[in-house]
């Protein structure tokens, strides 16, 4: 029975303390009943070129003869103007995104210059020859500095249909010009891409996929590369490098080796990335 001989203010304060204590206990009980999300542990390191050759995805068409010139020769020590960041043995990679990014390396120019991207759908004719149909184009004006350039592909074509149909092979071509006139080509590279829905990938530690956004860009890139998802992993590794260049240097040496860039070519790319870790700034002039 409540003791009314004490002043009301004292009784009220006791009641408040009891309510506060009960509320804290209930809150702690509720918090302990919520399962904690465990961030998955990602294995360190990236697959080697031999790993990509053995376990990576393969295209439906022959791509080995499509490696393009980057503006220099392999027999002479010279500066490359452009390099495709794509597995060197077949110039092919996959994405799990309907609107992936493509990355290329560009050397410094003398001033503003034009870059042209063309995406082509590959089909077979009745005589089994290949036909390349342009489905997307971009024309951009870029700054003079060297570094990595990112091309964002749209998810759909102008008709509203998907740009990249699952299981279909596509070829992309990037051409860089010496200036904004578009009269002189400095270099050109070619690569191949296919879209594979995420549910069709035999993921290692598949529970990681649902928590991918909780990982750092570096960890995302490592996990995607370990599952041979080239394009999405490459962008994540580039974004991770922008945050921690020293911490991703070894991984980027492996990326370039897998892309067929070694020696002075790899050194050129790494020096330019260290000086300009962010993506090259570009102004979109035309897209269809």
Q: Is 168 exposed, middle or buried (0-12, 13-18, 19+ CB in 10 A)?
A: middle
Ramachandran region of residue 128, left (φ > 0), alpha (ψ -120 to 50) or beta? left
Which pLDDT belongs to residue 221? 96
Between 59 and 249, name the one with better pLDDT: 249
Of 226, 230, 277, 224, the closest CA to residue 85 belongs to 230
Share of the chain above pLDDT 70, in %: 81
Q: Terminal CA-to-CA distance of the chain, rounded, Å?
A: 82
The pTM of the full predicted model, rounded to 2 decimals, is 0.82
CB contact set of 156 (below 8 Å; sequence gap of 6+): 162, 163
Q: Is pLDDT at 19 greater than 80 in this prediction? A: no
CA distance 29 to 195: 46
111-120 pLDDT, tens digit per residue, is: 999 999 999 9
Between 121 and 24, name the one with better pLDDT: 121
The SS3 call for residue 214 is: helix
187-232 pLDDT, tens digit per residue, is: 999 999 999 999 999 999 888 888 888 999 999 999 999 999 999 9
User: Which residue blocks in the chain are alpha helix, DSSP H?
Assistant: 8-32, 49-55, 217-226, 230-243, 249-258, 263-275
């Amino acid at each position: 029975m409540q003791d009314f001989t004490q002043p009301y203010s004292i009784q009220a304060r006791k009641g408040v303390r009891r309510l506060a204590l009960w509320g804290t206990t209930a809150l702690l009980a509720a918090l302990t009943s919520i399962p904690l999300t465990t961030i998955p542990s990602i294995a360190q390191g990236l697959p080697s070129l031999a790993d990509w050759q053995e376990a990576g995805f393969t295209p439906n068409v022959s791509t080995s003869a499509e490696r393009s010139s980057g503006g220099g020769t392999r027999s002479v020590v010279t500066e490359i103007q452009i390099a495709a960041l794509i597995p060197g043995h077949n110039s092919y990679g996959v994405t799990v995104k309907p609107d992936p990014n493509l990355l290329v390396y560009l050397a410094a120019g003398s001033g503003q210059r034009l870059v042209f991207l063309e995406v082509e759908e590959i089909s077979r004719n009745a005589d089994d020859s290949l036909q390349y149909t342009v489905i997307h184009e971009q024309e951009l004006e870029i700054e003079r500095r060297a570094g990595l350039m990112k091309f964002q592909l749209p998810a759909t074509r102008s008709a509203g249909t998907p740009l990249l149909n699952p299981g279909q092979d596509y070829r992309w071509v990037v051409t860089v010009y010496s200036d904004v006139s578009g009269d002189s080509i400095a270099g050109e590279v070619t690569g191949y891409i296919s879209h594979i829905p995420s549910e069709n990938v035999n993921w290692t530690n598949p529970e990681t996929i649902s928590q991918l956004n909780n990982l750092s860009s570096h960890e995302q890139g490592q996990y995607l590369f370990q599952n041979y998802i080239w394009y999405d992993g490459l962008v994540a590794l580039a974004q991770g490098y922008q945050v921690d260049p020293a911490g991703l240097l070894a991984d980027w040496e492996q990326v370039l080796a897998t892309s067929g860039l070694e020696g002075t070519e790899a050194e050129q790319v790494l020096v330019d990335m260290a000086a300009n870790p962010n993506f090259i700034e570009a102004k979109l002039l035309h897209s269809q």
